[in-house]
Amino acid sequence: MAGTRHKKSRPGKPGRPANWSLPYRRGRSDGMAAGFRHGHWQGVCEAVLQKSLRSFERRPISVLFVASGKGFPYSPLDEGIRITLGGLAERVIAVSPKDDVARIARAERPDLVLVLEGMEFPPEQAEAIRMSGIRTAVWFTDDPYYTDITSLLAVHYDYVFTLEKNCVPFYERLGCPHVHYLPLGVFPDFYRPRRPKQVRRSDVCFIGSAYWNRVRLFSRLLPLIEHRSFLVSGLWWDRLPDFKRWKKRIQLGRWMAPVETSEYYHAHSVVINVHRDYQNDSYNRNGANIAAQSPNPRVFEIAACGTLQIVDPRSDLPLFYAPGEEIVTYDSPEDLAAKVEYYLNHEEERRRIALRALQRTMRDHTYANRLTQLLDAALAP
């Protein structure tokens, strides 16, 4: 019609619809608030990490490092130890257990030959190195679960380091002259707070293989925390009696690399840790039936990621983290479920404990801390 003026529609701003719906506005507001909260938490964790990490003197020594040679999941451990040694020793020669290590050692004359785990390294090679006057050390990282094997290896080394305290007298009775308790820790390049994808954020997670003691625990636990968002990831979880009920919340058959694992840890408010059963003969070779009282490596890895850890107790655990202040323990599936619920409803308390654990880990429980202790012991006059 003549004289009628048509208003031009005004386009919305980039990334914004012209007419905001109420659900869109709510989603946008909630998303921004969640992003702010997590970004702030990420910044707090990073500040604690940077303030807690210690520096160590680089020594004028040479170390020949024999990796485990067992492939994944041991290869990240090999890499972390090798890189850390490079910051502690002036010269590091890294070799495979399949190399002619005795010949290399005689040619290089290092101050120490350090063998990690040792199951792929021929004991006659270790004996030949020792007989040539070069100090040797082995660090057993799976004790006490394979002591039927490690008992045959330990006697060929000058120094034996074990992550299980109960194995110290065991190796001493075999005639090993220098045995030291040395748990694993963390390599901060792998395990640290990270910025997880939104899709990975959830209430509770467990990452690890479904050993039978874990199957028994989770078959009772999962119905108690069904109303919470949770993730279980790892091998053999189809062993759960009610697996079909939970399969949408289980990543079956996955074995994550460390960086991805640390992202999942930081993405969850609570991470559960369940130690392996030392008495199960179906996957252990522990004929001496040595009890496990020391924390597994996962204790340190979870603590390094700035999240609350709830773990079954072991008697050595208070040597590394103060229960109730830096870590939380449980004594039954029902107790675990109750503590999961409590800490999910008490965010500030949960985060205080997580931050204390992060600080303690980065100050006292890194690979650099552990290898400094190892070098002090193995190179003592």
Is 89's pLDDT higher than 90?
yes
Which H, E and C letters describe the chain, residue by residue? CCCCCCCCCCCCCCCCCCCCCHHHHHHHHHHHHHHHHHHHHHHHHHHHHHHHCCCCCCEEEEEEEECCCCCCCCHHHHHHHHHHHHHHEEEEEEECCCCCHHHHHHHHCCCEEEEECCCCCCHHHHHHHHHCCCCEEEEECCCCCCHHHHHHHHHHCCEEEECCCCHHHHHHHCCCCEEEECCCCECCCCCCCCCCCHHHCEEEEEECCCCHHHHHHHHHHHHHHCCCCEEEEECCHHHCCCHHHHHHHEEECCCCCHHHHHHHHHHEEEEEECCCCCCCCCCCCCCCCCCCCCCCHHHHHHHCCCCEEEECCCCCHHHCCCECCCEEECCCHHHHHHHHHHHHCCHHHHHHHHHHHHHHHHHHCEHHHHHHHHHHHHCCC
- Look at residue 12 and tell me whether its pLDDT is greater than 60: no
Q: pTM to 2 decimals?
A: 0.89
CATH 3.40.50.300 fits 198-364, yes or no: no
Whether residue 149 is predicted with pLDDT greater than 50 in this model: the reply is yes
265-321 pLDDT, tens per residue? 999 999 999 999 998 877 789 999 999 999 999 999 999 999 999 999 999 999 999
- For residue 30, what pLDDT band results from cuts at 50, 70 and 90? low
- What percent of the chain clears pLDDT 70, i.e. is strictly above it? 90
Asked if residue 85 has pLDDT above 50, the reply is: yes
Mean pLDDT of the chain: 92
Q: Tell which wins on pLDDT, 371 or 28.
A: 371
pLDDT beyond 60 at 132 = yes
pLDDT the model gives residue 196: 80
Mean of pLDDT values over 347-364: 97
User: Tens digit of pLDDT for each residue in 225-257?
Assistant: 999 999 999 999 999 999 999 999 999 999 899
- Which residue did the predictor score with more confidence, 188 or 28? 188
pLDDT reading at 376 higher than 50:
yes
- Per-residue confidence (pLDDT) for residue 16, from 0 to 100: 57
Residues of the chain with CATH 3.40.50.2300: 59-185+367-378
Q: Please tell me the CATH code under which domain 59-185+367-378 is placed.
A: 3.40.50.2300
- Bigger pLDDT: 77 vs 381: 77
Residue 7 has pLDDT above 90, yes or no: no
pLDDT bin (cut points 50, 70, 90) of residue 5 is low
Residues carrying CATH 3.40.50.2000, the chain: 198-364
For residue 41, the model assigns a pLDDT of 86
CA distance linking residue 263 with residue 155, whole number of Å: 40
